[in-house]
Chains A and B, each alone.
Chain A
Amino acid sequence: MTLKLIYKILVENWPMFLRGAGMTLYISIIATILGSLIGLMVGIIRTIPIPERGFKKGLLKVVNGLLSAYIEFFRGTPMMVQAMVIYYGSAEAFGISMDKYFAAILIVSINTGAYMSEIVRGGIVSIDKGQFEAAHALGMNHFQTMANVVMPQVIRNILPATGNEFVINIKDTSVLNVISVSELYFATKSIAGNTFIFYPPFVIACILYFVMTFTVTRILRLFEKIIDGPENFDLAGNQMQVAKPESMLQRKMGETHQR
């Protein structure tokens, strides 16, 4: 009976579910990428060694202060509340009517950025001091050291945590229904409202959320493996020409044919 009901809801409303899931995936992919970029930049800036004196020291301190304020504020308040403040606030206080999808991506991105910058900072701090020293000894400056040696290792090391953020984003976009972004939760709520049947649509939403998060974690795991490279390596530059049995056989066959 129940299964039949779920099936019926699915058959009648599948385009709406699919559009909702698509919107959820769209917002969370773009926001995770943008958020990771914000996190990388903020993380790098916050780990620049502070010079002992001069103008740069003052500037860096001010910038670091602002960045910590950003991180603390966005980590310390609920995304749902931020969505209300940013979306309705920009309209009512400043008269700017923001596109709600733009607002959605903005909110999720800066939220992810706040978390990611701490993850990136942790990743940079965890890289062995010897890696920095070896790069400096080759004559690399801070930027070259970061770009060629440190960041590639940091990115590899923070991939699992980034996957976490991605999964959280897929689930947490559901709070964006408060600014009526038609993501999966919003779509499910509408279906339930239209049909007066409640739990079956949410069971379907549940399954859809799970499929999305599970796929994303598997893809990221695969990506980790690709970065790690093959377990073994080939010896290169072997000067000896070793004949393979197949080629020897072929040569012999050729000779016999000529005869």
Chain B
Amino acid sequence: MDNIIEIQHLSKTFGTNEVLKDIDFSVKKGEVVCIIGSSGSGKSTLLRCVNLLEKPSGGQVIYKGENILDDKHDIYAYRTKLGMVFQQFNLFNNLNVLKNCTVGQIKVLKRSKEEAREVAMKYLKVVGMDQYINARPKQLSGGQKQRVAIARALSMEPDVMLFDEPTSALDPEMVGEVLKVMRELAGSGLTMLIVTHEMEFARDVADRVVFMDQGVIVEEGSPEQVLLNPTQERTREFLSRTLNK
């Protein structure tokens, strides 16, 4: 079995609010999976449960055959295997672009400064931000920040990249530059799990689309299946609402 991440019977409650209900879900190596759904459907929470930024209330998160929720498992080492890109970028405000991309490598992966710099430069070139290494986050535009955030996550050379609505906080004209980078990454064979509202993007790059509503997975399958020929009433309703804006 080549499932890199497998989620079984995952549930998450905030107080009495049940956000995720008995989710079963997996990601194969090299697969690009897009999660779609309306706000409050639990898709971001699912993504945050995968790298344990939210502690699941029940169920299992299995990474390469090992249950991460075991008490003995080192969640810090596990997180270095997952790159995370946030909606709000969350670049470290006290560090410049280059240091944002090297601090994790040096402090967590214990790479040397020279090696960290080399790796960071490689990925900053991928996202087209290698000229901006001396800039501070506050001096960059939203799209530039998000590209640096992608480079920061890639610099850890993770097995899986998680994207939590990476374009939702951007101005319309900056969405394109970030999606372009993500398309390139998807083409390079990286395993990606993307929460997004960009239907066109999902149709183009996803190997599999997952539609969530009210804390459950309603429908999943190839983009053609889910986006063009949905079988479930709720999926059809959601798609007609988003596509006919």
Contacts and interface: CB of A to CB of B under 8 A. Distances in A.
Given A139-B79, A139-B108, A149-B92, A134 B132 contact: no
B86 interface: yes
A156 B94 CA distance: 9
> For this complex, into which size category does the number of interface residues on chain A fall?
20 to 34
Contact of A234 (B83, B88, B134): B134
B134 A140 contact: no
Contact of A233 (B93, B95, B135): B135
B192 interface: no
A195 interface: no
Nearest to B109: A139
B156 interface: yes
Contact of B79 (A138, A148, A234): A138
Contacts of A148: 92, 103, 107
Residue of B84, B89, B93 with most partner-chain A CB within 10 A: B93
Interface residues of B, number: 37
A149 B94 contact: yes
A135 B53 contact: no
Interface in B61-91: 76-80, 82-84, 86, 88-91
B58 to A, nearest CB: 15
A229 B80 contact: no
B136 interface: yes
Given A130-B86, A133-B53, A138 B131 contact: no
Contacts of B77: 139
Contacts of B53: 133, 136-137
A128 B135 CA distance: 20
A130 B95 CA distance: 15
Contacts of A128: 90
A213 interface: no
Interface of B: 51, 53, 76-80, 82-84, 86, 88-96, 103-104, 107-109, 130-136, 139, 149, 152-153, 156
Given A130-B88, A134-B86, 12 more contacts: A133-B86, A135-B92, A137-B51, A137-B153, A139-B79, A139-B80, A144-B107, A153-B93, A233-B134, A235-B134, A236-B130, A236-B134
Interface of A: 128, 130-131, 133-141, 144, 148-149, 152-153, 156, 229, 232-238
